[in-house]
A and B are shown apart, each in its own frame.
Chain A
């Protein structure tokens, strides 16, 4: 029986599955690099339009969404073939977006117009435009899908948006230039990174109060080079990883205590992060060294760097 199961597992593994493929937007070379998440080899590079940045994949892995900033739209690709299927309206200069956990709708930050655009991924229609603070940027969604967080760079706020009414229900003032919002999987904490403030605010989503601010101090690195951007937390809530931009480091944080454990040297201008589906690996996009670093999550160790396109920006991994 054991033998049979092992054989079945091997057969499943041998399927040309989409699972564990890694998609990286390259802001400058205007393409998407696809990596094999097992071998870390580049499978291919595909055109993406002008200045691709934010990237997301549907929960069923059938649609790959890319914010194509200079084309003012979202392009939707078949992740298997990398053929463009259709486009979605996005409002001007879309940079970052977040997909509702159900796969619909898509919430897109429009930096120039100070709005968040809501788009139905099935009908391809725009559902709403929500006015937010000045220069909206980071987007996060609560695990139950009821709240979307948008951070505004100039207003320095995290806006809590009700996903049914599209109303802003709360605003939390954080440090300068908030860039990214990330909930824990159980929804008990919200992390908001501040690029210029150099901190991560830990917010209680129920009271909308800041319970702690994580700051960073790296020996031998000037404080102004420490610019927190992308953040990801393991689904068991044990570890938080924060990309520190031109410090070229990813901070590893004990998410139980929110204390920094380590700083890992990755590539240059580390921007966004994504876990493999089993959370064994964390991928980082390094905009200035034009590569992706692969971190062994359990070991807190960089195991590989893979050259990709010019100025890698966003990263997403296909679900299992």
Chain B
């Protein structure tokens, strides 16, 4: 019977998270910020059309793709940026920042969409658990209970609850990932800006 209060607490916790933001599909305690903008990370020149094109030329695009990778430690990223900056003017540095921004924003948007799907799946699962719980209680209260059917229902309920709880535990990490991407974009922006004339 310990399970029931725990479940109720978990079910109560799910909408509480959602209530913090205005989007009911958003399960994170952090405010949903669907998109980043370059100005949040960068006070250097605003990229014009030519710089946007430059950003997708192979040397810059390849460097941006490498810098974006989270497995590349920031001190090594700083060295790579420093090497690039030696032969680069402000337009090329701005293009590198734009190329990084494009990639990180693309990944982050996909991630935000994924978290929303995750949130919707949790809400749906919570509803299903409630339905199963109601059915389970009705079956137990029946004048002549079908104990085999009750066992099957209980097992299904157990599984749903386990999945729900595991997903809730993962939520903290999942919700922090967009912030981790923002931190990287900001740190790279700061590093590149340090080389502007």
Contact between B186 and A268, CB atoms less than 8 A apart: yes
Bound-state Cα–Cα, A221 to B43, Å? 11
B173: shortest Cβ distance to chain A, in Å?
14
Contact (Cβ within 8 A) B182 A219:
no
Residues of A within 8 A of B39 (CB): 218-221, 247
The answer, yes or no, to whether A278 is at the interface (CB within 8 Å) is: no
Residues on A with beta carbons closer than 8 Å to the beta carbon of B35: 222
- B110 close to chain A: CB less than 8 A: no
B179 and A220 within 8 A (CB): no
Least CB distance, A299 to chain B, in whole angstroms: 15
A265 within 8 A of B: yes
Closest to B34 in A: A224
Closest to B47 in A: A220
* Contact yes or no, B33 A247, CB < 8 A: no
Pairwise interchain contact B33-A246, C-beta atoms closer than 8 A: yes
Once bound together, how far apart are the Cα atoms of A224 and B32, in whole Å? 10
Q: B179, A288: Cβ atoms under 8 Å?
A: yes
**Complex alpha-carbon distance, A221 and B41, angstroms:** 9
Q: Shortest Cβ distance from A157 into chain B, in angstroms?
A: 20
B182 touches A288 (CB 8 A): yes
Residues of B within 8 A of A224 (CB): 33-34
Most buried by A among B39, B46, B183, B186: B39
Instruction: Please report the total number of B residues contacting A with Cβ < 8 Å.
Output: 18
Assess whether A246 is in contact with B183, with CB atoms less than 8 Å apart.
no
Tell me whether A222 and B182 are in contact (CB under 8 A): no
Cβ-based interface call for A276 (8 A): no
A284 at the interface (CB under 8 A from B): no
- If A219-B46, A268-B182, A289-B186 touch, does A248 touch B41 (CB 8 Å cutoff)? yes
B170 at the interface (CB under 8 A from A): no
From 132 to 184 in chain B, residues with beta carbon under 8 angstroms from any chain A beta carbon are: 179, 182-183
Q: Is A225 an interface residue (CB 8 A)?
A: yes
Cβ of A133 to closest chain B Cβ, rounded Å? 18
Q: How far is the CA of A225 from the CA of B39 in the complex (A)?
A: 10
User: Are the C-beta atoms of B37 and A225 separated by less than 8 Å?
Assistant: yes
Quick one: which of A276-292 are within 8 Å of B by CB? 288-289
Residue of A219, A220, A225 touching B33 (CB-CB under 8 A): A225
Best-buried of A218, A224, A265, A289 by chain B (most CB within 10 Å): A265
Asked if B40 and A248 make an inter-chain contact with CB atoms under 8 angstroms apart, the answer reads yes
How far is A248 from B41 in the complex, measured between Cα atoms in Å? 7
Is B10 an interface residue, CB under 8 A from the partner?
no
Listed in ascending order, the chain A residues whose CB lies under 8 Å from chain B are 218-222, 224-225, 246-249, 265, 267-268, 288-289
User: Which 7 A/B pairs are nearest by Cβ-Cβ distance?
Assistant: A220-B39, A221-B39, A222-B37, A265-B43, A221-B37, A248-B40, A220-B38
29 A/B residue pairs, CB under 8 Å, sorted by A: A218-B39, A220-B39, A220-B42, A220-B46, A221-B37, A221-B39, A222-B35, A222-B37, A224-B33, A224-B34, A225-B36, A225-B37, A246-B31, A246-B33, A246-B40, A248-B40, A248-B186, A249-B40, A265-B42, A265-B43, A267-B186, A268-B40, A268-B182, A268-B183, A268-B186, A288-B179, A288-B182, A288-B183, A289-B186
9 new A-B contacts, CB < 8 A, other than A225-B37, A248-B186, are A219-B39, A220-B37, A221-B39, A224-B33, A247-B39, A288-B182, A288-B186, A289-B183, A289-B187
